[in-house]
Chain A
Amino acid sequence: MSSDLSNEKKHARGQIIVVMVIFFLLMVTVTAWAAYYAIANRVELFNNDSNPRETLLAERIDRGTIYAADGSVLAENDESGNRVYPYGNVFAHVVGYSAMGGSGIEEYSKYDLLHSNIPFMEKVECDKQGVKYPGDNITTTLVPKLQQAAYDAMGYYDGAIIVTEVRTGKILAMVSKPDYDPAYIARDWDFYLNEDDKGTLVNRATQGQYPPGSTFKIVDVVELLQEHPDADTTYHFSCSGSFSQDGESITCYDHDVHGEEDLTAAFANSCNSAFASIGLSLDRREYMATLKRLMFNGKLPYDLPYNTSKLNLTTDISTREMIQVSIGQGTTQMSPLHLNMITSAVANHGVLMKPYLVDHRTDADGRLLEVRQPEEYGELMSSEIAAKLRTYMRAVITDGTATVLRGQSYNAAGKTGSAEFNDELNSHSWFTGFAPAEDPKICVTCIIEGQGTGSRFAVPAAKVVFDAYFND
């Protein structure tokens, strides 16, 4: 034991150093984690509905102004501190409201709108005058001219239009109907909450869930061309007005008989029989992978609230269900935003740009603080497939279901759809497309609820938006 005694002290030193190092690392890790977590998530945590600090800042900060891309005001505080919305109902859903828990850009950007970055001396000046500090201002990507055109095009119909810039992902217009006046949201809150059965407050462009109908044939073509790259030239179908397999049958719209078709014609005619047969011939497993890549049943690259699209496809679903999937009917549900993303990927060589609404942020004196750069989300389909799809979608305008858009100063391309949503054969009217077809600039997706075929309602509405953009 005496040898232990002489080593005792030396031993303890080593062990104490070990313990010191253990706890040192532990504390450094937890501190770094705390600081990282707090800073990295500050906007998200501030925006959380259960965080009461918004009201705290509202007492000290004069909420900033929201501008449109052309510099006009979309939302601002007037002298008495009331929030005013100069465009009234036109920007209702996309800009949203700040009262009653907030929605839209007002809610999404409230961290910026409620933080003031003016120089210190100006804050002192504010204190002297006894006024609140002015919050930062944000400028959106929204273009009032297009928004107004889209709003007018919708008329009294319910539905939504979303317009994006293909190369950047900027959202240029987003309309949802029925609409409301955000300035009076507090007054009408009870009505919207308890009596309103139309879902007025829902932004149908991002949160609406509709069967995609024939517009889903874009997705069928993506999968068909992935499995058979030569289908462009070799595909052939003879349409007799209906198609049956395993005792299940489907008819083309209005019982049209399309006759002999190649892929371009089948797509342009929106031939249900052709696409039912295509759908049944596809490899289910690969189709599921493609749907995943196209963000079905998954997250969309979008910062504000939206609903995920639902599509039920497994390897063992019945013939009947598979036919329904291929023509965008049955249980499939999709938001206009999602369809717009797929369409703009077609227009942009298969690459999706992440859609966004806030372009830049300045302080109250106009000093630039932050500029949002366009962001690539990723490739949804190969550029070859996208190029072929663009020619098919162009054929829809020249020889197919959307001839309303023929002979314009711009060459549009797109796809119509009529999505049946109940057993009485009522249908939603869809159009999704872009222009110019040879060098796409904007992508327009439009849905009009319960009004029949795409060509009669949605295409003219989209035309108004295209006209506003190109003919000025």
Chain B
Amino acid sequence: MQAYVVSYSKYIIAAALAVYTLTAYFALPVRRGRNPFFLLFMQRFSWAVFMVNATLTLWKLGGEDSTILLSGALCTLAFLAFMLLFQTFYAKAHVMLFNNICMMLSLGLVIIARINFAKAQKQFIIACAGLVFILFFPVLRKQLEFLRHLWPICAAAGLALIGIVLLSGRSVNGANLMLTLKGFTFQPSELVKILFLLFLAGAFAKEVTGFKVFLTFVIAMAHVGILVLSSDLGSAMIFYVVYFMMLYIATGRFRYLTWGALMGAVGAVACYFLFAHLRVRVDMWLDPWTYINDGGYQITQALFAISFGGLFGAGLYQGMPSRIPFVESDFIFAAIAEEMGLVTAVCLVLLCLNIFIDILVLSEQYSNRFFRMFTFGTGVMYIFQTFVTVAGETKFIPLTGVTLPLVSYGGTSVLSTLILFGIVSAIFILHGEREEAFRLRMEEERTEALRRENTRRRALQEDRDVKRAPAPGRKKKRKDSGYTMDDPRFQPGASIFGDDEVRF
């Protein structure tokens, strides 16, 4: 029984993830607003296979505790209910984004449950709270546009929050990241991510003048500076990259990216010499083996773990992921690679990439700049955070200790990612509805025009019948009708709202 469970289980997990990832990529080119039902069904099917298989494996190898079975079933049912409810509530919902969110959460919950069951339960509760937010947030979608006026407040609030942490935060793992409020510990830099995106999207929603570039630059660098001082280097890097990427999209000038890269390089070198904690990180990255029982312990243990799993993993409960300090929050990728294998881990990264491409394609079709900037920023922030954590865990770049969004253990992280995705999905619903409304209006106007045209023709015909007058030329007729089938606004995928909303 043991051999069956251990061996088959890991292959099933790898296969389910592979199928899921494949369908996610097949579904990418499908035109927005239409949901590819077969692919989405395949996704949910492979997700369900993963969940059932993982639950049974955890139960069998984790001491046959019936709590695990119940929790697994509850989790599967809860996620399924959310998926179906969301689809039912909003006809214009982006179903795949929601599938992907559930897949990521499930993957994280399974590996966290294997490492520390109590933490998985906590994570599940927070995830459910976030999902409820996504479920009901689109109700407020009509008010979304108002947010763009709040960017100065967002900037100030964000700076204030990370400033407070810098001054009074509780030190965890050498960095001031946590804040305790009435018994709840949370990581403000995660929440500031939302504020930061709202600030930039709002500031770039209108014309981007030289002064505005300067202003946003100063505010963004203030964020980065405070984070560097708090030793939260991962977040600092993320904020920095997101700022320059959004500036590039807002202005369309590639030279800002070049400047960003140059300044980043110079700044990184300067910080290396200025801050001892940064120097230590870099030294540990260059040669962790020398400090293997000291500062290099975490990263070398992670490398041992990733390498031990091989292609299909050691199997759940067959590795030693717990040997890595802070494994469930900072090294979840290593834990997944060890016990579920490199195939699953690579699928996970490809899935993150899929979510990123998906969100960027969404942002591309919005002609409302605020919506476009916000959606785009969310995508970039998501993928770059994934990059920073995966690359850090595999010794590709120095370790910074950020979470893998939705997968890692950490309430604030999961919640803030879910809020971001919730806003993105609400924007998508709003956009879809406006597009639909516009199409209907167009349809109506066209019917109306046709009706008028017919009436006029009939009148003309009657006229002609009476007076034997010559028929009017085609050219003139078109001018009168106002709309024809050649009108660009009738073409599929055309911009349909917002021209009147974007003013320069």
Contacts and interface: CB of A to CB of B under 8 A. Distances in A.
Interface size class of A (residues with CB under 8 A): 35 or more
A37 interface: yes
Nearest to B1: A127
B306 A30 contact: no
Interface string B179-192: 00000000000000
Nearest to A4: B504
Interface in A1-51: 1-2, 4-5, 8-9, 11-13, 15-16, 18-20, 23-24, 26-27, 29-31, 33-35, 37-39, 41-42, 45-46, 48, 50-51
A52 B323 contact: yes
B384 interface: yes
Contacts of A37: 303, 306-307, 394-395
Interface stretch (B97-105, B357-365, B422-430): B357-365
Contacts of A1: 207, 504
Interface stretch (B113-121, B345-353, B403-411): B345-353
B157 interface: no
Interface string B1-45: 111100100000000000000000000000000000000000000
A12 B391 contact: no
A51 B248 CA distance: 45
Contacts of B3: 120, 123-124, 126-127
Nearest to B245: A19
B300 interface: yes
A126 B1 CA distance: 10
Given A12-B372, A27-B383, A30-B387, A35 B342 contact: yes
Contacts of B390: 27, 30-31, 34
Contact of A56 (B292, B309, B320): B320
Contacts of B293: 50
A23 B1 contact: no
Interface string A149-168: 00000000000000000000
A232 to B, nearest CB: 48
A35 B304 CA distance: 13
Contact of B307 (A8, A45, A124): A45
Contacts of B308: 42, 45-46, 51, 53
Contact of A38 (B337, B349, B387): B337
A118 B382 CA distance: 43
B488 to A, nearest CB: 11
A37 B300 CA distance: 12
B409 to A, nearest CB: 21
Contacts of A11: 252
Contact of B248 (A9, A13, A15): A15
B252 A12 contact: yes
A35 B307 contact: no
A126 B7 CA distance: 14
16 contacts: A12-B372, A19-B245, A19-B249, A23-B383, A27-B349, A30-B396, A34-B394, A35-B346, A38-B394, A39-B310, A46-B307, A48-B304, A51-B308, A52-B320, A124-B4, A127-B3
Interface of B: 1-4, 7, 207, 245, 248-249, 252, 254, 292-293, 297, 300-301, 303-304, 306-311, 318-320, 323, 337, 342, 345-346, 349-350, 352-353, 356-357, 360, 363-364, 367, 369, 372, 376, 380, 383-384, 386-387, 390-391, 393-396, 495, 499, 502, 504
Interface of A: 1-2, 4-5, 8-9, 11-13, 15-16, 18-20, 23-24, 26-27, 29-31, 33-35, 37-39, 41-42, 45-46, 48, 50-53, 56, 120, 123-124, 126-127
